[in-house]
Amino acid sequence: MFETLSERLQAVFKKLKGRGKLSEADVTDALREVRMALLEADVSLPVAKTFIAAVKEKAVGAEVLESLTPAQAVIRIVRDEMVHLLGEPAKLTMSSAPPTVYMLVGLQGSGKTTTSAKLALHLKNEGRAPLLAAADIYRPAAIKQLQVLGDELEIPVFTLGETDPVQIAKGAVKHASSSGKDIVLLDTAGRLHVDEAMMDELKRMKAEISPTEILLVVDAMTGQDAVKIAEQFHQDLAITGIIMTKMDGDARGGAALSVRSVTGCPIKFTGVGEKLKALDVFYPDRLVSRILGMGDVLSLIEKVEKNIDQKQALELQEKLRKADFDLEDYLGQLGQLKKMGGIQDLLGMLPANLFPGANLQKQLKDVKPDEKQFLRTEAIIQSMTREERRDPSILNGSRRRRIAKGSGTEVADVNQVLKHYDMIKKMMKQFSGMEKKMKKLKGNFPIPMG
């Protein structure tokens, strides 16, 4: 997510820092590169122009150019303006008279049905009692898809089959009231493009049920088209919030920076993976810090606290202190990383300058513990003797060939596992002892400018 934009901006700021004192021309040149980076990341031209103008107005003043660290001052202004562009964090509005009704709208393929289920799970985890309503009668198997997701999450799904979607919506609200459900999530129909028939149906639904919120689901990978889609939906339905899906699949991500500015509607959630728990509350300041290489320690701490067993963490800390991190520990850590979204995602939450001289992101680029790779790694490690797992240094050529044969893999696969083990071991050593430092950061996380 935002990989291209992040790399470009960090390169621009690195050049700025290398110049010491800055002139107005230096700032102008840097902002020209920032503008190009934004456009290449699919930020719309009007938004990019407005953003650069706002930054330049503040960055060329004497107070900045004559400061002791002008480059840092410019970076701080870029950060603040980018946060301003994305707006304040916005929570979902809850109705004072239940049930609260959320209409999810958007084009076909944007991920509305899956997002409905993800949002229902998020609300269930917050102690709510959600009801999913299948109001998409046009897409083949849309109703069945929602029912399957509902069964998986143990969340009820209301359906009247392929009848009038407006009647389905009304029926869902009535059913929620009578069955003690305090949230209704309406999965509405989409089309391949915005058309009059779709909008008329959504307008009728809105008029009949008066939803608490209308949430537009937008596929981040649609790029510039996301802005046009958001504009049209907002014009016709007065949407109240946006959910950006497939944010993990788009290295550019500029659509997120554009739709908030164009519609004035807050981005409330982002979809960051296929799993049903892969829906994140949107925090603009945290996202901007990650884009600019400043990390997102708050989200990292929250993710760790949510997924890591404290007893296991203390045992691991003791092992690291004694330099006793073996292949069995490595396998356990891969499982934990998989639960938290993968090592690349976690490394992206750390400030780029946290470990000077160690570009962990690039070193660990291939360590992606998806299910298939995890099972292969598990097979390789379990094909070793206990002695080999405890002391990988004894793994000579003949032992590696035996392990490859026993696990149904190649010697190259065994070598790759051992290489990644060494990298993770080094990284874990660097992470050990950071607990106190990160807890201090949790309360008041400064912008690292080193």
Choosing from 291, 312, 327, the residue where a domain stops is 291
For residue 228, CA distances in Å to 176, 216, 258, 425, 428 come to: 34, 13, 10, 47, 45
- Residues 96 and 42: their CA atoms lie apart, in Å, by 39
Note whether residue 148 is domain-resident: yes
Give the pLDDT confidence score for residue 357 in this predicted structure: 43
Note whether residue 51 is domain-resident: yes
Q: Which helix (H) or strand (E) holds 397?
A: helix 397-407
What letters, b where the CB count within 10 A reaches 16 and e where it falls short, cover 218-247?
bbbbbbeebbebbebbbebbebbbbbbbbb
220 and 106 both lie in a single domain: yes
Give the pLDDT confidence score for residue 254 in this predicted structure: 76
310 and 363 both lie in a single domain: yes
What is the rounded (10 degree) CA torsion for 7, 9, 15, 21?
-160
End-to-end CA gap in the chain: 24
131 and 62 both lie in a single domain: no
130 and 198 both lie in a single domain: yes
Note whether residue 348 is domain-resident: yes
Q: Is 149 helix (H, G, I), strand (E, B) or coil?
A: helix
Give the pLDDT confidence score for residue 284 in this predicted structure: 86
312 and 358 both lie in a single domain: yes
Choosing from 24, 58, 86, the residue where a domain stops is 86
Note whether residue 91 is domain-resident: no
Note whether residue 244 is domain-resident: yes
Give the pLDDT confidence score for residue 137 in this predicted structure: 92
User: Which tokens sit at 410?
Assistant: 């190649």
Q: What is the CATH number of the domain that holds 376?
A: 1.10.260.30
Task: Estimate to the nearest angstrom the gap between the alpha carbon of 219 and the chain centroid.
Answer: 13
Q: Find residue 281's DSSP bridge partners.
A: 269
Q: Is 189 helix (H, G, I), strand (E, B) or coil?
A: coil
136 and 276 both lie in a single domain: yes
**Boundaries of domain holding 391:** 297-443
Note whether residue 449 is domain-resident: no
| Residue of 145, 120, 116 lying closest to 130 (CA atoms) | 120
- Residues 160 and 169: their CA atoms lie apart, in Å, by 10
114 and 181 both lie in a single domain: yes
Q: Where are the beta strands (DSSP E) in 63-160?
A: 100-105, 130-135, 157-158
Indicate the angle between helix axes 196-209 and 225-237, nearest 10 degrees.
40
> What is residue 135's DSSP assignment?
E
- Count how many domains the chain has: 3
Note whether residue 450 is domain-resident: no
Choosing from 276, 291, 306, the residue where a domain stops is 291
- Residues 34 and 39: their CA atoms lie apart, in Å, by 9
Note whether residue 279 is domain-resident: yes
205 and 309 both lie in a single domain: no
- Model pTM score: 0.69
Supply the Cα-derived Rg of the chain in whole angstroms. 25
222 and 315 both lie in a single domain: no
- Residues 31 and 9: their CA atoms lie apart, in Å, by 10
270 and 392 both lie in a single domain: no
Bond prior to 266 in cis (omega within 30° of 0): no
Which phi and psi (to 5°) does residue 243 adopt?
A: -120, 115
412 and 428 both lie in a single domain: yes
User: Which tokens sit at 251?
Assistant: 């290295």
User: Which tokens sit at 335?
Assistant: 């499982």
269 and 308 both lie in a single domain: no
- Residues 252 and 337: their CA atoms lie apart, in Å, by 24
Q: Find residue 158's DSSP bridge partners.
A: 133
> Could you tell me if 350 and 297 are in contact, meaning their C-beta atoms sit under 8 angstroms apart?
yes
Q: What is the CATH number of the domain that holds 68?
A: 1.20.120.140
Give the pLDDT confidence score for residue 444 in this predicted structure: 42
Q: What is the CATH number of the domain that holds 232?
A: 3.40.50.300
Give the pLDDT confidence score for residue 400 in this predicted structure: 95
- Residues 380 and 415: their CA atoms lie apart, in Å, by 10
- Residues 17 and 37: their CA atoms lie apart, in Å, by 18
Q: What is the mean pLDDT of each run of 10 residues along the chain (450 residues)?
A: 77 80 85 90 88 89 72 85 87 94 94 95 95 92 94 96 92 95 95 88 95 94 84 93 82 75 90 86 84 60 55 59 74 68 56 48 52 82 92 93 93 91 74 52 39
Give the pLDDT confidence score for residue 170 in this predicted structure: 96
